[in-house]
């Protein structure tokens, strides 16, 4: 079987309503596609993305009917499938991985600025992806110079591309005795794994960090009821976050509160067990003990995200229990979104090839992605209590 690579990166020319995506089939292997050159696209398949749920939908059923029909044709044919037939087959498998992933929460675009660039070198400067900086001045208009736009911010910050991968080996035993459509289960697992570890690359950094006093907010104890304590805690946290300095501004310390991203609303990362109480308070109402009080000005939090851990957190893999941590109950993290960066050279990609005769393996496949994260601006100096960064840790009050 020929070796191909299928990439699930969203098509560059998405229509405005974002209902069209593309599964690509590339030439070459993982190593050759790691170069900074543009990869060679063998073929591609576009497909529509509707708003309906994918699992169990008519589109899901129809896609797997097509896959099973092609599988049956390959197995019963007197000759191996042609390159053209394989080029039509594998993108269909990856369409299912992409659509399965759509049903899971991908926190990358919620927490960070996500940049997809196939020409990214292994180590790149963050400044290559940031806006240019300039100033305006009054001139005479007679042979005098004008101030030039410059690219000087973050000139020492770099992002390194890392390859992350997982795989599956099909066996003769599977082909002969497994009554369940295991190929479909493999694609479902690929979608879960891909989403889990994209999230983990960012969330583990946030929940695993040490937060000094300048980067923390203790629970308020002055309110007469739990709702008032919670409201006061979040209000104080909003002000605490605003007093941090942004790590990008090295020449002159600049409060985070002066940035548009802060004024337009911050993000709150919480545990699902605290979601109901927090949403109740953020809606503008607090229970005073005898009645609900409507606050004139709700706290300007734009987004509340619940994450207790990865989909596979706590599951057994071999002799290992998977650890994909989330936010602990009673704790929250308030941050300015898009201050971390995820720069992706290749999104989740499938490479497949022939198996081993000696191992009675009929097919082997591996999924990989090439990506790098920059979290220094988001996290700042929270561990050393410098007052620089764009995130704080909140201890929520205890509900009796």
CB 169, CB 355: distance < 8 Å:
yes
From 3-12, 55-64, 199-208, the region with the lowest mean pLDDT: 3-12
* Model confidence pLDDT, tens digit, residues 189-203: 888 888 899 999 999
Q: Rounded to two decimals, what is the model's pTM? A: 0.79
130-to-126, 133, 156 alpha-carbon distances in Å = 7, 9, 13
Instruction: Determine how many CB atoms are found less than 10 A away from the CB of residue 121.
Output: 14
Enter the tokens of residue 325.
């941590």
Decide which of 29 and 240 is more confident: 240
User: CB–CB of 377/338 below 8 Å?
Assistant: no
Give the number of other CB atoms < 10 A from CB of residue 126.
21
> How do residues 216-232 score in pLDDT, each as one tens digit?
999 998 877 888 899 89
- Residue 95 main-chain phi, psi, to 5 deg: -60, -40
Q: How far apart are CA 279 and CA 400, in angstroms?
A: 18
For the stretch 71-107, pLDDT in tens is 777 666 666 666 677 667 777 776 777 777 777 788 8
What does the pLDDT read at residue 361?
Answer: 46
331-335/391-395 β-pairing: antiparallel
pLDDT tops 50 at residue 340:
yes
Helix axis angle, 83-102 to 182-207, nearest 10°: 50
């Amino acid at each position: 079987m020929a070796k191909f690579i299928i990439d699930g990166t969203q098509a560059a020319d998405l229509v405005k309503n974002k209902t069209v995506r593309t599964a690509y089939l590339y030439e070459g292997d993982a190593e050759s596609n790691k170069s900074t050159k543009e990869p060679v696209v063998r073929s591609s398949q576009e497909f529509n993305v509707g708003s309906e749920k994918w699992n169990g939908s008519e589109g899901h059923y129809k896609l797997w009917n097509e896959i099973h029909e092609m599988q049956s044709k390959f197995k019963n044919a007197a000759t191996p499938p042609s390159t053209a037939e394989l080029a039509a087959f594998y993108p269909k498998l990856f369409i299912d991985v992409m659509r399965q992933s759509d049903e899971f929460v991908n926190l990358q675009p919620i927490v960070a600025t996500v940049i997809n660039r196939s020409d990214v070198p292994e180590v790149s400067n963050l400044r290559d992806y940031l806006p240019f900086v300039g100033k305006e001045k009054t001139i005479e208009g007679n042979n005098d110079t004008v101030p030039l736009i410059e690219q000087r911010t973050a000139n020492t910050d770099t992002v390194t591309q890392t390859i992350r991968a997982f795989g599956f080996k099909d066996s003769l035993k599977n082909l002969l005795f497994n009554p369940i459509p295991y190929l479909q289960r493999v694609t479902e697992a690929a979608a879960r794994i891909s989403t889990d570890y994209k999230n983990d690359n960012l969330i583990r950094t946030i929940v695993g960090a040490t937060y000094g006093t300048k980067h923390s907010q203790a629970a308020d104890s002055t309110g007469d009821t739990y709702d008032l304590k919670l409201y006061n805690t979040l209000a104080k946290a909003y002000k605490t976050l605003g007093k941090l300095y942004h790590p990008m501004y090295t020449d002159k310390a600049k409060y985070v509160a002066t940035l548009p991203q802060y004024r337009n609303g911050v993000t709150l990362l919480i545990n699902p067990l605290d979601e109901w109480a927090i949403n109740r308070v953020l809606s503008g109402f607090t229970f005073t003990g005898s009645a609900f009080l409507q606050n004139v000005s709700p706290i300007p939090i734009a987004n509340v995200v619940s994450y207790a851990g990865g989909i596979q957190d706590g599951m057994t893999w071999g002799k290992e229990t998977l650890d994909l941590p989330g936010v602990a109950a009673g704790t929250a993290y308030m941050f300015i979104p898009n201050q971390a960066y995820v720069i992706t050279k290749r999104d989740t990609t499938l490479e497949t090839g022939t198996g081993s005769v000696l191992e009675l393996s009929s097919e082997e496949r591996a999924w990989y992605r090439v990506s790098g994260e920059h979290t220094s601006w988001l996290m700042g100096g929270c561990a050393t209590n410098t007052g620089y960064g764009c995130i704080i840790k909140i201890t929520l009050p205890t509900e009796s």
